[in-house]
A and B are shown apart, each in its own frame.
Chain A
């Protein structure tokens, strides 16, 4: 069935675009479908029917409200795909299908919408995942800060991979695949309120490939998580809390770009608490640590991978401790309060 492409008369979203009628149909066929083309989506059914190989499923969802919408290294669309794909990947699942929901403000420029959709399509294709179903709603100006996106994702777990908090033991090593703080500091620096022009770039990327390399070529991976909002500090504290074990990391071994450190210093942030969108933390057995590091470093998204610390016994309470650059010691707490408004 071929569709003739109608020229869109409108260059901004109107409330009617969410109304389920002609305008919405135009929007879907002329803007949304072309970028995300796949068989399931083309059916435009209420639900997508998926034939999945047997295995245990992973299912996740995330909403994206980042401001600004476009930033150096990505945009809300790319983020929406990577974020959900990464949640599946760190659970040891191969991403299979995504659902995409858009909530768009009256008055939003259609040209920008197209740009976002193209980015979604491109990112999804690079990962090899299809957007199989979706929804579009429009709201009055001001009700959605231009556009909000939600994605949900399904993945199939790699067989024989058992990861979880309960696997973590004293002596396990902690690996990160590269520099921290890039995404959060980039987004902050590009918000209009701050007169900041910078060379920073978000690390927004899909980790399915590098994680797959790891899972298929080593055993000994006990646990993985992506340190998004709340940064490395939040992720390590979650691990400590859930295992009742403590963690020790070394500041010298944590990769940070000087520009990111400088930007964080300028605004009084601690890079450990700043969001990352192309990083994962892996807790691995001590015997497999070197192999894991080697595998990560071979991949383009892991060239700067490092072993940053290890799991240790707790004294009285589970803690995350850091050995500072000068050989001092201090605690890394779970970040409190609002650090970064709307960065993912």
Chain B
């Protein structure tokens, strides 16, 4: 279906989470990932977290994007 990208759990109540991906926040359920905790990096697909994402491995992927794209803005504040 859609490409899923890693997102960090920034809020979690029972199995309802708010996740953050590059500054975009959206709702996701952790029903399929009962071991997920606040602060975890997860892969979200069709509104559900389906896998924990290994930070070390993920950093390699994200860093790759950062290296290639000289247009990185690490600051999440959107300019006016």
Contact = CB atoms under 8 A, between A and B. Distances in A.
Contacts of B78: 72, 199-201, 257, 259
Contacts of A198: 23-26
Interface of A: 72, 179, 189, 194-201, 252, 255-259, 261-263, 265-268, 304, 325
Contacts of A201: 78
A252 B2 CA distance: 23
Contact of A196 (B4, B24, B68, B71): B24
A222 B62 CA distance: 39
Contacts of A252: 68-70
Contacts of A268: 1-3
A262 B71 contact: no
Contacts of B2: 266-268
Interface in B41-61: 47
B38 interface: no
A259 B71 contact: no
A276 B80 CA distance: 16
Given A198-B23, A265-B5, A266-B4, A257 B69 contact: no
Contacts of A256: 69, 71
Given A195-B26, A195-B27, A259-B76, A266 B21 contact: yes
A258 B22 contact: yes
Contacts of B4: 266
A60 to B, nearest CB: 28
B13 interface: no
B72 interface: yes
Nearest to B22: A262
A198 B76 CA distance: 10
B35 interface: no
